[in-house]
Structure 1
Amino acid sequence: MKRILFILSVIYCGLVSCDEKEGYLITENAVYDPDTMIVRLTPDPELDAVRIEYESPWQSLKMQGYEGTERIDFSVESVSSTVGEEAAATFMQELTILAGGGVMRYPYKGKSPAGRYTVSVRLTGPGYSQVVKNAFTFILK
């Protein structure tokens, strides 16, 4: 009887002491499709008529190809730019990202100079956080 109690207590201690992370997160296939957007700093009256009327932001589609335990939050990890670090910092301050799917928005009246801005995105779920490097590119013209 003592042996059985000893064995059961050892098994119980082993199970209780397991330190497993909650959930999972897989980002190796995470992409935006398309992964590039051209932002016209001076909107075209014909092509951007609705955007001009409502001053709508420039907006990406949702990120695709990731898997994980809900709730997954998205944040801008970093921005690199062909026009320098100061421009990248300004762009990063203006850019917003939505929690539900990682839709990125650049404001209609953004102040960043013309150039190419490449964004890395952090996905964070229960127990995990990973970065998708160079996930999306905005080309401001």
Structure 2
Amino acid sequence: MKVLFILVTIISCFCMACHEQTVGFLVTENASYDPDSLVIRKIPDPEEDRVRIEYNAPWISTDLQGYEGTAQIQFDVESVSSSLGEEAARVFQEELSIRGGGYLMYPLKNNAKPGRYVVSVRLSNPGYSQVIKDAFTFIVE
């Protein structure tokens, strides 16, 4: 009986050790931008946007907050939708970039048509990948 118990224990341990588990974690349930929208002026205001014009600085969102995960977390623009249609969304997405921390950047000089653009963001790390749908809205005026 002891031999059978030891044999079952050894086989169980062997089976558990062979099970491949993904290392790390990624939690995005509470991930969001605050604020979650940004107004882009096609024609920058000479007073309000003076510094932006002088340095050709892009429009930048705040960083993405409320996510947790094992480093190194990579951010990608998953998709852009627009009430103006797929072509307008495609043009907007081609000019949109994302940096570490989830900062979304859109150039001062751009080809966007006035309208609303809703961005979904993908977070990835070794072993995990999740999309935050409709995470941020750009309003082009």
Q: Bin the TM-score by the shorter chain.
A: over 0.9
Correspondence for 2:112 = 112
Secondary structure at the aligned position of 2:62 is classed as coil
**How many pairs are equivalent?**
140
Q: Which amino acid aligns with 1:140?
A: V
Q: TM-score, normalised by structure 2?
A: 0.92
Determine the structure 2 residue equivalent to 1:121.
121
Letter in 1 for 2:73: I
State the partner residue of 1:56. Answer: 57
Point out the more displaced range, 35-44 or 5-14: 5-14
Deviations 1:15-57 (A, max 9, x none): 3212211111111100000000000010000000000000000
TM-score by length of 1: 0.92
Which residues in structure 2 correspond to 1:1-141 (within 5 Å)? 6-7=7-8, 9-98=10-99, 100-141=100-141
List gaps (5 residues or longer) in structure 2.
none
Secondary structure at 2:101 match in 1: coil
Q: How large is the RMSD of aligned CA atoms in angstroms?
A: 1.5
Q: Distance in 1 between matches of 2:3 and 2:67?
A: 50
Which letter maps to 1:66?
Y
Q: Which has the larger displacement, 117-126 or 1-10?
A: 1-10
* TM-aligned CA deviation for residue 12 of structure 1: 4.0
Structure 1 vs Structure 2: percent identity of aligned residues?
52
Describe the SS at the equivalent of 1:86.
Answer: helix
